[in-house]
Structure formats: C-alpha cells, structure tokens
Amino acid sequence: MKIKNVFFTCIFLLSSSFADDLRTLALESGLKSIPSDKNALEQLINDIAPDSKEYPFSVDAYELGKKLYFDPRLSKSGIISCNTCHNLSLGGVDGVPASTGHKWMPNPSHVNSPTVFNSVFNSVQFWDGRAAHLTAQAKGPLLASVEMASTPKLIEQRLKSIPAYVYDFKKAFNSEIKFDLVAAAIGIFERSLITPSKFDKFLEGDNKALNDMEKKGLKTFIDKGCASCHDGVNLGGTLQPFEVANKYEFSNIGDFKGDKNGLVKTPTLRNIELTAPYFHNGVVWSLEEAVKIMGSVQLGIDIKDNEAKDIAIFLKSLTGDAPKIDYPILPASTKTTSVPELDY
C-alpha cells in the first residue's frame, strides 16, 4: 500500500511540475489570461480600448447599446441588425463563409464575419485593421452599401421618431440622438461581450483547469510556433503578415489582400470551435485542417494529423462562458418612423 501511495504521489508531483512549467512557458510565449478579478478586468478593458475614455461604461449606455445592437431598424431595409452577422447565439458570427447584406447581396470581397465576442481585446478591428476600436468599427457595417446600407441621417431620423429612444439617449449620454452616440452605445455594449474560459483559470494558477490532453495540445501549440502570432489576451487580434512561408491555396476566393502593406488581422482563437468556417474568406470548415494550413502558410512546417488533433483539443479549451444576454424588447415605431426601404 505504501509503495502504491508513493507511486501516485510521484505521478502527482510530476504532473504538477509539468503544469507549472507549461504555464510559465505559456506566459513567456506572450499568452495572457482574461482576469478573473472584476476590477482587474475593468482596468484591462479601459487600458486596451481607446474609446473607453471618451465613452466610459454606464449601465444606461450598456442597455441602450444592447437595444441598438439587436434593432434591425438601424438598417435601410429594417431587416438587418448587428446580431444578423454577429449572432450572439452562434459564437458571435453568422456561420457562413461570407455575410449577406442589403438586398441579399453577398459581400463583394467574400470576407467572413469575425466574432464579436472578446473583440475589445483586438488591437485593431476589421480584417484590414482600419478601425482602432469598437465605436469606430460599429459605424462601418451601418453605412456600408452591401451591409446595412443606412446613413447617419436615416438612423438619426428613425430613432428620433421613437420617444423611448429619445429618452434613452438623454439618460445614457445627456444628449439628443446623434449618429456618433449610436456607434458609441453599441461599442459600450460590445465591450462587455467577454468569455473567460478554463484556459484563463489555468494561466491564473489552477493546474486542474486543463486536462492532460489539453495541456499536451497547448505544449504543441507553443512548440510549433503558433503563439508567435496568436498571443496576448485574445490569442490574436493584431495585424500580421500573411502567407509568410507559402501561398494560401484558397487565395483566389475573394479579392481581399489585407491592408496597404498586405497585413491581415490575426483572428482571435477564443471560441474558435464555435466560429467556423475559418480564414478571412471562410473557406475551411475543419479546425484541424485550418491548423495544418496555418502551419504551412505561416510557419513553413508540416503539422502532422495527430499534432493538429492535439492543437485542436487545446483550442477547444478556449471556448468560454458567454455572458447571459436577455433579448431586449424594442420600443415601438410611430407614425413618423420611416418605413423600411427594401430596394427590391
């Protein structure tokens, strides 16, 4: 009995030592946790989100932003809301290769909708990084002719025709309804869409938060060099060169080539098992295949099937606890609210 106890004690100590060493390696590789401490998380968001200084969080602004996020009347057609392409029940995406917008038009560049969850931790927004924060990002889809196809004037007029919204803007911002504040409120709501996972518990010191297979996958993820781009709190979210080592075999699908320097925003790996299809043009549906393609395209290495499987097991540990969002009951339109313009 004593021999058996000594054996299990040694196994435990080895396992604990491996977990501690792995955590150190992960942190040294630039991986960071979403803080479990509420104050630390609030401070992190304020530090990382440039728009939080001009538009700080308040409960009233959050509740207004939630209504606006789900309100299809912000679109010209009255059909499309932010939640259409960034569905909070589907991992913050729409689950199709390229989104469909106004008049059922497919995205002309064939770009995939990134997840809105944890997007506050991205250093830039949009695939080409053209927006610095969520308030700026919110304006893009609202005004894009192939997305919501609206205008600042149309949005302001519609919202001003609804007394409840007039009241909400006054309460949240002590202001009349302005397009900039519409985007600000949506950004404030989106900053709250944080999904901490068991991976964060592991980084904060809980050796049992990840099982042995997940730890093995994390070690492989780091050893293969994946963390060279997928680092930080969001395991991504920064602009990086694409096709570093080899050509992406599906580069001919869509015309997106990155920013003026060919840089592309590295997608977050958080909740990655929920956000297929993958890559900027949404061509790849298998997580393991995406891992192998990235090994070739970015790292110039051949990731074996078993290694891709191990990494995918780790990546699934990044699936987090989404905040509970009560679907808002939106205020009624009035006789002065402009009717939808379907343009059919």
CA trace torsion 290, 296, 302, 303 (10° rounding): -30
Q: What is the pTM of this model?
A: 0.94
Domain 19-34+195-317 identical in fold to domain 41-192: yes
- Domain positions in the chain are 19-34+195-317, 41-192
User: Is residue 148 marked as binding?
Assistant: no
Instruction: For residue 147, indicate whether it is catalytic.
Output: yes
User: Is residue 133 marked as binding?
Assistant: no
Catalytic entry in 28, 54, 63, 147:
147
User: Is residue 82 marked as binding?
Assistant: yes
**Which CATH code is given to the segment(s) 41-192?**
1.10.760.10
Q: Which fold does the domain 19-34+195-317 belong to in CATH? A: Cytochrome Bc1 Complex; Chain D, domain 2 (1.10.760)
User: Is residue 294 marked as binding?
Assistant: yes
Cβ proximity of 178 and 184 under 8 Å: no
One digit per residue, the tens of pLDDT, for the chain of length 344 reads 555 554 444 444 457 889 999 999 999 999 999 999 999 999 999 999 999 999 999 999 999 999 999 999 999 999 999 999 999 999 999 999 999 999 999 899 999 999 999 999 999 999 999 999 999 999 999 999 999 999 999 999 999 999 999 999 999 999 999 999 999 999 999 999 999 999 999 999 999 999 999 999 999 999 999 999 999 999 999 999 999 999 999 999 999 999 999 999 999 999 999 999 999 999 999 999 999 999 999 999 999 999 999 999 999 999 999 999 999 999 999 999 999 999 98
User: Is residue 10 marked as binding?
Assistant: no
